[in-house]
C-alpha cells in the first residue's frame, strides 16, 4: 500500500517563473488523478493525507534559531531572493513548515502500517543546511522528519538514498558525524554542477566516518550506469548496515529531459529504483526533491508509484531494462568507492 501526503497550500510558496514552482506539483497531481480518479483519504486505489505542519520545536532539532528567525523575518517582510537562486514569498516560511511536516506525516503513516508513504511537497529540502537556505531549499524536510523519528520513536539506524541530480549537501552535512545515519547519494559529478560538493572522498567525519557514501557520476551517465553502481554498491551496503528505517530522496532532475542537469536517465530508472528498494526495505518513506521537466517528472513519478502499489496492469507492465551499457568512468568509480569504503563495508 502506498499513501500520498500533499497539500494544495504548497501553491502559496509563490516563486513565479523560477524553475522550482507549483506547476511541478500541479502536473504530477494531474497525472495521478487521471490514472486513479479523485484522490481521497483512505479512499480509492491510492489514498492521500494532508500534512500536519512541523512545530518550531521539530525544526529546532535540525536548524539553528538564527536560521529560522531569518527565514521567518525575511518572508514576513515581503520576501525575495535569499541568495542568487533561493526564493521566499511572504508565506514561504509557513509553507516550508508544512513541507517539513509532510515528511513527518509520511513517516507516521509508515509507522502506522502503510508500506510506503510519499511526501509530495515543495519547497524541497536537501540543500538546506542547519543554518543556511540554498539551492531552492529553506528547511531540510527529510532531516526534520528523521530527527522527529529519533526523538519520538524507538528507532536507531536510518538509511537515506538520494538520487536527485544534485548532491544533497544539506542532508549530508547535518548527519556528517553521525554513525546512525547512512547517507548514500548518486548525483552528477560536482565538478560540473551545483553545489560543487559530493566527491567520493567526502566519507563522513569522526564517528560518522564511512557513513556518507557519494557516487558522483560523469555528465551523460544514464540508466545503465545507475543500475550498475547501485546494484554493486547499494545492495551489500544496505544489507550490512541493517537500518531500522528507510528514506528514498526522490529527484527527477536526473532525467534526460531535465533542463538543469546533464544526466541521461530514462523513464525506466524510476520504476527500477522503486522495485529494487521495495525488495530491500519492506517499508519506506519517499520525499520529493527536484525535477524541472514537468512532463518527464510527472510521467516517471506515475510509473514509480505504480510499482510501489504493486499493481501493474498488463498494458502498463514494466520490464527491467535489458543489457547494461556501462561507461568506463562508471566502472572506475565503482573501483574507487570499493577501495575507499573497504574499511567500512564488504563489497
Give the dihedral sign, CA 262/233/121/191. negative
Question: Nearest residue by C-beta to Zn ion?
Answer: 290
Identity of the residue, 3 or 21, whose beta carbon is nearer to Zn ion in the bound complex: 21
Q: Which stretch binds Zn ion (CB under 5 A): 10-18, 53-61, 74-82, 289-297?
A: 289-297
# residues near Zn ion by CB under 5 A? 6
Residues 93-122 that bind Zn ion (CB under 5 A): none
In the bound complex, what is the minimum distance in angstroms from residue 136's beta carbon to Zn ion? 8
Note if 127 is an active site residue: yes
Identity of the residue, 46 or 103, whose beta carbon is nearer to Zn ion in the bound complex: 103
With CB under 5 A as the contact rule, the residue among 20, 108, 202, 253 that binds Zn ion is: 253
Identity of the residue, 79 or 290, whose beta carbon is nearer to Zn ion in the bound complex: 290
With CB under 5 A as the contact rule, the residue among 189, 216, 290, 333 that binds Zn ion is: 290
Strand 80-81 relative to strand 87-88, pairing: antiparallel
In the bound complex, what is the minimum distance in angstroms from residue 85's beta carbon to Zn ion? 11
First to last CA, the chain: 32
Identity of the residue, 226 or 345, whose beta carbon is nearer to Zn ion in the bound complex: 226
Q: What is the DSSP annotation of 211-241?
A: -EEEEEEPTT-BHHHHHHHIIIIIHHHHHHH
What dihedral do alpha carbons 193, 211, 101, 170 form, nearest 10°?
-30
Identity of the residue, 53 or 123, whose beta carbon is nearer to Zn ion in the bound complex: 123
Q: What is the DSSP letter of 28?
A: H
Q: Which stretch binds Zn ion (CB under 5 A): 20-28, 74-82, 198-206, 245-253?
A: 245-253
In the bound complex, what is the minimum distance in angstroms from residue 49's beta carbon to Zn ion? 25
The whole-angstrom separation of Cα 46 and Cα 115 is 12
In the bound complex, what is the minimum distance in angstroms from residue 127's beta carbon to Zn ion? 8
Q: Which stretch binds Zn ion (CB under 5 A): 69-77, 99-107, 165-173, 272-280?
A: 165-173
Per-residue x/- mask for Zn ion, residues 124 to 163, rule CB under 5 A? ----------------------------------------
Identity of the residue, 204 or 251, whose beta carbon is nearer to Zn ion in the bound complex: 251
Give the dihedral sign, CA 179/184/187/189. positive
Three-class SS of 140-161: CHHHHHHHHHHHHCCCCCEEEE
With CB under 5 A as the contact rule, the residue among 20, 47, 162, 164 that binds Zn ion is: 164
In the bound complex, what is the minimum distance in angstroms from residue 45's beta carbon to Zn ion? 30
Q: Which stretch binds Zn ion (CB under 5 A): 47-55, 154-162, 236-244, 247-255?
A: 247-255
Give the dihedral sign, CA 323/327/328/332. negative
User: Which of 179, 244, 245 has its CA nearest to residue 213?
Assistant: 179
Q: What is the CA radius of gyration of the chain?
A: 19
From the list 13, 67, 126, 127, the catalytic residue is 127
Rule CB under 5 A: say whether 166 interacts with Zn ion. Answer: yes
In the bound complex, what is the minimum distance in angstroms from residue 154's beta carbon to Zn ion? 33
Give the dihedral sign, CA 15/20/70/97. positive
Residue at grid coordinates 537562486? 85
User: Which of 189, 155, 164, 185 has its CA nearest to residue 292?
Assistant: 164
Identity of the residue, 88 or 164, whose beta carbon is nearer to Zn ion in the bound complex: 164
Surface-to-core class of residue 58, CB atoms within 10 Å of its CB (0-12 exposed, 13-18 middle, 19+ buried): buried
In the bound complex, what is the minimum distance in angstroms from residue 166's beta carbon to Zn ion? 4
Q: Are 135 and 171 in contact (CB under 8 A)?
A: no
Q: Which stretch binds Zn ion (CB under 5 A): 14-22, 195-203, 252-260, 302-310?
A: 252-260
Q: Active-site residues: which are they?
A: 127
**Binding footprint of Zn ion on the chain (CB under 5 A):** 164-166, 251, 253, 290
Amino acid at each position: 500500500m502506498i499513501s500520498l501526503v500533499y497539500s494544495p497550500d504548497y501553491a502559496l510558496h509563490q516563486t513565479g517563473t523560477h524553475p522550482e514552482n507549483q506547476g511541478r506539483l500541479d502536473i504530477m497531481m494531474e497525472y495521478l488523478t487521471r490514472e486513479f480518479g479523485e484522490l481521497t483519504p483512505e479512499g480509492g486505489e491510492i489514498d492521500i493525507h494532508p500534512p500536519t505542519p512541523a512545530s518550531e520545536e521539530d525544526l529546532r532539532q535540525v536548524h539553528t534559531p538564527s536560521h529560522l528567525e531569518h527565514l521567518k523575518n525575511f518572508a514576513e517582510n515581503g520576501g525575495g531572493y535569499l541568495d542568487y537562486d533561493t526564493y521566499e514569498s511572504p508565506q514561504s516560511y509557513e509553507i516550508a513548515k508544512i513541507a517539513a511536516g509532510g515528511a513527518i506525516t509520511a513517516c507516521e503513516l509508515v509507522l502506522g502500517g502503510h508500506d510506503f508513504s510519499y511526501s509530495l511537497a515543495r519547497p524541497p529540502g536537501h540543500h538546506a543546511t542547519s543554518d543556511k537556505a540554498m539551492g531552492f531549499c529553506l528547511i531540510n524536510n527529510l532531516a526534520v522528519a528523521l530527527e522527529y523519528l529519533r526523538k519520538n520513536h524507538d528507532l536507531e539506524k536510518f538509511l537515506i538514498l538520494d538520487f536527485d541530480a544534485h548532491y544533497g549537501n544539506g542532508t549530508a552535512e547535518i548527519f556528517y558525524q553521525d554513525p546512525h545515519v547512512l547517507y548514500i547519494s548518486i548525483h552528477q559529478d560536482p565538478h560540473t554542477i551545483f553545489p560543487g560538493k559530493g566527491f567520493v572522498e567526502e566519507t563522513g567525519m569522526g564517528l560518522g566516518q564511512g557513513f556518507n557514501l557519494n557516487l558522483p557520476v560523469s555528465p551523460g551517465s544514464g540508466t545503465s550506469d545507475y543500475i550498475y553502481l547501485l546494484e554493486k554498491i547499494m545492495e551489500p551496503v544496505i544489507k550490512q548496515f541493517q537500518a531500522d528505517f528507510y528514506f528514498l530522496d526522490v529527484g527527477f532532475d536526473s532525467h534526460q529531459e531535465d533542463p538543469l542537469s546533464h544526466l541521461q536517465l530514462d523513464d525506466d530508472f524510476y520504476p527500477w529504483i522503486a522495485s529494487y528498494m521495495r525488495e530491500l526495505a519492506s517499508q519506506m518513506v519517499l520525499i520529493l526533491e527536484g525535477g524541472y521537466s514537468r512532463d518527464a517528472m510527472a510521467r516517471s513519478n506515475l510509473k514509480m508509484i505504480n510499482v510501489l502499489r504493486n499493481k501493474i496492469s498488463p498494458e502498463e507492465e514494466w520490464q527491467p531494462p535489458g543489457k547494461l551499457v556501462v561507461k568506463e568512468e562508471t566502472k572506475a568509480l565503482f573501483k574507487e568507492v570499493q577501495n575507499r569504503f573497504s574499511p567500512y563495508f564488504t563489497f
